[in-house]
Amino acid sequence: MSANTPAKILAFSGSLRKESFNQKVVSFAAELARERGAEATVITLRDYPMPIFNEDDEKANGYPAEARAFREQLLSHDGFIIGCPEYNSSITAALKNAIDWATRAGKGDEHPLACFAGKAIALTAASPGALGGRRGLDHVREILGNVNAHIVPGMVIVPAVHEAIDNDGNVTNDRAKGELESLVDTLVRTASALKSA
């Protein structure tokens, strides 16, 4: 694969809320990735309404079309920006369920972990609270590490996020913006290197 081919970055959050702060932060980060020469696509899990994973249902009804469409998005990108809301100090049910479906066996001889293995992932969390969703990030990092993803260093938290972004979804807090720029720099470089390897 040519080293000159732009890395393809997929950005989404673990929130289903229409006005999700975490979705706004990853959308802003996706624009930063474009400024750095990557191709960036923003999706929302709301557009992929997957049932709660249940192996009995999978055997009875097959692999859900929404889960397959989400998995195809992951497979077609070189790296991800994932916004991770913190629910009760942990990962959201929507994000965990999406990961569980995405790691089911693919078509033919495709490895179940193909959509995460060796992919570069940048993690962010945002919250109106003082901790910015920090506690949930450790759980997300552990889960993604166990499916062989490469988590780039420098996870970014945005506390008091309602004061850190404007009405257009731009991150205006200088600290958060600088950390996001550094995180996205690392992600794009890493994804490009892994793509070229």
58 is a domain residue:
yes
pLDDT computed for residue 107 by the predictor: 62
Q: Which residue, among 170, 174, 197, has the nearest Cα to 35 in the 3D structure?
A: 170
Q: Does residue 99 form part of some domain?
A: yes
Pick from 98, 97, 89: which is nearest to 43 by CA? 98
pLDDT at residue 1, as a whole number? 40
- What residue numbers bound the domain in which 38 lies? 8-196
pTM, to two decimals: 0.94
Q: What is the pLDDT of residue 106?
A: 60
Asked, for residue 52, whether it belongs to a domain, the answer is: yes
* pLDDT given at position 162: 93
In contact, 115 and 69? CB cutoff 8 Å: no
Question: For residue 88, how many other CB atoms are within 10 A of its CB?
Answer: 8
Q: Which residues make beta-bridge pairs with 99? A: none
97-111: string of b/e by CB count within 10 Å (b at 16+)? bbbebbbeebeeeee
- Domain tally for the chain? 1
CATH number of the domain at 191, please.
3.40.50.360
**1 found inside a domain:** no
Mean pLDDT per 10-residue run, the chain (197 residues)?
77 96 97 97 97 94 93 96 94 97 76 91 94 89 95 95 93 96 97 88
CA distance 190 to 91: 25
Look at residue 81 and tell me if it is in a domain: yes
